[in-house]
Amino acid sequence: MKKNKIIIFMIAISSASATFAGNPLLETYKTPHQTIPFELIKTEHYEPAFMEAMKQHALEIDAIANNSQAPTFENTIVALDHSGSLLTKVSSPFFNLLSAETNDALQDIAEKVSPVMTEHNNSIRLNEKLFTRIKTVFEQKNKLKLTTEQQMLLKDTYEGFANNGANLSDADKVIYRKLSKDLNLLELQYGQNVLKETNKYSLLITDKALLAGLPEDMLEMLAGNSKKADKTGWLLNLKATCYVPLLKYADNRDLRRELYMASTTKCTLGGDYDNRENVIKIANIRLKIANLLGYKSYADYVLVRRMAETKEKVFDLLDKLLVAYKPAAEKELADVQEFADKNGAYFKLQTWDWSYYSEKLKDEKYAVNDEMLKPYFELENVKKGVFGLATRLYGLKFTKNTKIPVYNPEVDAYDVTDENGKFLSVLYTDFHPRDGKRAGAWMSEFKGQYMDGKTDSRPQITIVMNFTRPTDTKPALLTFDELTTFLHEFGHSLHGMLTKCTYQSLSGTNVYRDFVELPSQIMENWGSEKEFLDGFAVHYQTGEKIPAELIQKIKSSENFNIAYFCLRQLSFGYLDMGWHGIEKPFEGDVFAYEKDAMASTQILPKTENTAMSTTFSHIFSGGYAAGYYSYKWAEVLDADAYSVFVKNGIFDKKTADSFRKNILMKGGTEHPMVLYKKFRSQEPTIDALLRRNGITL
């Protein structure tokens, strides 16, 4: 085994030495913690680096597959897990920047490289010699004295090959290669279309009276947009920092409708960025892949490796929540309609009216709104509060390290250490929207955690968001939703930073998709806790601590329209399962199919010729295909898990240690239900969620 590793290493050195020179992506990083030297990397470095890294990976795979020694766990399964490190080193910064700092040149490279990468991965998964060795080891699993983590790695490796075509006939492997390559390009095109269509839209307002109702800091932001575009007035766009507050605050109903229609018709109006055909092609290709692998639908194929396991269990959860929440949601709609009528609406509420009138009703009932709260949520203070929460729970310390290169001046990098000062991780934070950044918020990694012999190679984690920017007169002041989004993504980062596993493919967030949201969603619970807010929420001008009565108003209003928002999430889950539960090729109309899939959850009138499917990046280009239900699945888990903190104290060290040791540190080394029961001592039920939301006592 050692001899083979040396051979692989020597081949790599001899064939790559000339190519390595001058390409920072292929050289050893001389930076703190060997972080990515972004300032040295140029766009033209990526394509040759990808090609060289794939070449080296292919040599490593060839050495494993053609090893003359009998296949063992170490020389086959572990060797495979260790292979491809150079390719990961190249692909990690590229694909992260493709989401957070993209441009036309990077997108062109992605279109060239992605099909080659797909073919490269297929050549590995469909390598008969390699799979024969994997299968031989797998069939000996009961005779091998493997640890629990080793057993999981063996299982994941075998299933990863078997579920990606390794058992197919030669003829079907050819079909699989083409389908997977076509799918990869379609998913890439879909995501690029969404970003380009979002960036394309702008609306210049020159009459300030049309913007009545908008907060002053938003007006200042819109004026700043206009100034950057060398225009005079207020420039609106479809980024969340404009779109969401405009629908919430703009008195002008026509303007609300204009923005709503612009957003919900994105990628549906013909032209280069129309995604309707892409939606159909993606759904049908996924179905073909699933059928080829022996499954009736793509959802059946995906759910084999999920906690839910089957479509029936997914629908069972969605249907139970629909029955529990829909009556409450209909009552919420009636209350908002009544309020609107009393305030001169005289029309049946439409979707673009909901945020506006519900926000005003919330303000009337609880005397709390974003404009009252934002002065207490200045971004720098919020960072201290969120980082401080990790300190109280897990003893972590965050120290900004300006020597770590970053990919944009707005990005900060931190050294993260434990209670004993031991280095745990690098954390990058990227908070504000840019034209090169896709919408939403996410956590990712530039480097995963793994054991290199006896050395614990620690991770490099990034969290990316699209929060309100500072203006000329005010710092970045967050809404309460932005605060909880920060907590959510930070929860993912804790999962990535605190992990301690042997194998990189099992570490951190490499867990079942319907389990990965537990560490993130549980963090949101602290957002309305007085003990948490008292630690950082002070007025950015006066330094006054957030008043206790304001915190109580946040707490009291937590469940305001909670059922409506549950139905909204359920509608996305049903739509996802609709597209990925099909058992024959789809040939219908995207608008009509979507309307039918979401019908049971709709309590507001459906606007014709609008669509979610054409911009639903989570499921069509973001890895959540047949998995969007996982947000609700994990919400059941997080409510149940947080009830332990509530019982023992929200900063209880013993409870936090148990959550850290049984959930955050373990990655995917055991089945998630086993890990959850080690923390909770029982399986979860929906009871805690219903109680938290006030649906049942």
Give 204-272 as a DSSP string. EE--GGGGTT--HHHHHHHHHHHHHTT-SSEEE-SSHHHHHHHHHH---HHHHHHHHHHHHTTT-SSST
The answer to whether 676 and 684 are in contact (CB under 8 A) is yes
The answer to whether 594 and 607 are in contact (CB under 8 A) is no
Where does residue 170 rank: exposed (0-12), middle (13-18), buried (19+ CB within 10 A)? exposed
Tokens 């995917």 identify what position? 668
In the chain the first and final C-alpha atoms are separated, in Å, by: 61
Tokens 């699945």 identify what position? 633
pLDDT greater than 70 at residue 7 = no
> What is the C-alpha to C-alpha distance for residues 295 and 113, in angstroms, rounded to an integer?
29
Tokens 């200042």 identify what position? 220
Packed helices 43-65 and 128-139: angle between N→C axes, nearest 10 degrees? 60
The answer to whether 176 and 165 are in contact (CB under 8 A) is yes
The answer to whether 695 and 325 are in contact (CB under 8 A) is yes
DSSP assignment, residue 534?
A: T
3-state secondary structure of 461: strand
The answer to whether 545 and 393 are in contact (CB under 8 A) is no
User: Measured between alpha carbons, how far is residue 680 from residues 46, 512, 656, 662 in Å?
Assistant: 46, 18, 12, 10
In 3D space, the residue among 469, 561, 474, 430 whose CA is nearest the CA of residue 242 turns out to be 469
pLDDT greater than 60 at residue 312 = yes
Say which residues have a Cβ less than 8 Å from residue 271's Cβ, sequence separation at least 6: none
pLDDT greater than 90 at residue 4 = no
Q: What is the pLDDT of residue 18?
A: 42
pLDDT digits (tens, 9 = 90+) for 18-50: 446 689 999 999 999 999 999 999 999 999 999
Strand 397-400 and strand 412-417: pairing?
antiparallel
Tell me phi and psi for residue 180, to 5 degrees. -65, -35
The answer to whether 427 and 461 are in contact (CB under 8 A) is yes
In 3D space, the residue among 452, 442, 536, 457 whose CA is nearest the CA of residue 491 turns out to be 442
Q: What is the pLDDT of residue 17?
A: 42
Q: What is the pLDDT of residue 21?
A: 66
Helix, strand and coil percent figures for the chain, each rounded to 5: 60, 5, 35
Query: Which pTM does this prediction carry?
Result: 0.93
- Encoded tokens for 311: 């479509």
Q: What is the pLDDT of residue 433?
A: 95
User: Measured between alpha carbons, how far is residue 382 from residues 13, 322, 476, 582 in Å?
Assistant: 47, 35, 10, 44
Name the residue with higher pLDDT: 591 or 2.
Answer: 591
> What is the C-alpha to C-alpha distance for residues 404 and 465, in angstroms, rounded to an integer?
20
pLDDT digits (tens, 9 = 90+) for 15-24: 444 446 689 9
pLDDT greater than 90 at residue 6 = no
Q: What is the pLDDT of residue 616?
A: 97
Which domains does the chain possess? 2-167 (1.10.1370.40), 201-264 (no CATH), 276-368+562-628 (1.10.1370.10), 374-556+631-692 (1.10.1370.40)
Q: Which amino acid is at 673?
A: M
Where does residue 305 rank: exposed (0-12), middle (13-18), buried (19+ CB within 10 A)? middle
413 bridge partner residues: 428
pLDDT digits (tens, 9 = 90+) for 392-448: 999 999 999 999 999 999 999 999 999 999 999 999 999 999 999 999 999 999 999
Q: What is the pLDDT of residue 696?
A: 76
pLDDT digits (tens, 9 = 90+) for 120-179: 999 999 999 999 999 999 999 999 999 999 999 999 999 999 999 999 999 999 999 999
pLDDT class for 187, splitting at 50, 70, 90?
A: very high
Tokens 């206790």 identify what position? 548
Single out the catalytic residue among 489, 524, 635, 670.
489
> What is the C-alpha to C-alpha distance for residues 205 and 227, in angstroms, rounded to an integer?
13
∠ CA 84-87-91, nearest 5°, is 140
pLDDT greater than 50 at residue 676 = yes
> What is the C-alpha to C-alpha distance for residues 475 and 379, in angstroms, rounded to an integer?
8
Active site residue 187: no
The answer to whether 476 and 432 are in contact (CB under 8 A) is yes
pLDDT greater than 80 at residue 12 = no
Q: Which amino acid is at 473?
A: T
3-state secondary structure of 431: coil
Q: Which amino acid is at 534?
A: D
Tell me phi and psi for residue 294, to 5 degrees. 95, 20
Q: What is the pLDDT of residue 483?
A: 98
Strand 423-430 and strand 460-464: pairing?
parallel
The answer to whether 483 and 527 are in contact (CB under 8 A) is yes
Q: What is the pLDDT of residue 346?
A: 87
The answer to whether 361 and 339 are in contact (CB under 8 A) is yes
- Encoded tokens for 191: 């995501």
Total H helices, total E strands in the chain: 29, 9
The answer to whether 351 and 605 are in contact (CB under 8 A) is yes
Q: Which amino acid is at 167?
A: N
∠ CA 553-556-561, nearest 5°, is 115
Q: What is the pLDDT of residue 22?
A: 87
Q: What is the pLDDT of residue 396?
A: 98
> What is the C-alpha to C-alpha distance for residues 623 and 570, in angstroms, rounded to an integer?
18
Q: What is the DSSP secondary-structure string of 314-354?
A: HHHHHHHHHHHHHHHHHHHHHHHHHHHHHTT--S---HHHH
Q: Which amino acid is at 295?
A: Y
Packed helices 85-100 and 43-65: angle between N→C axes, nearest 10 degrees? 140
pLDDT digits (tens, 9 = 90+) for 468-517: 999 989 999 999 999 999 999 999 999 999 999 999 999 999 999 999 99
457 bridge partner residues: 450
Q: What is the pLDDT of residue 293?
A: 97
- Rounded to an integer, the average pLDDT of 190-198 is 96
412 bridge partner residues: 429
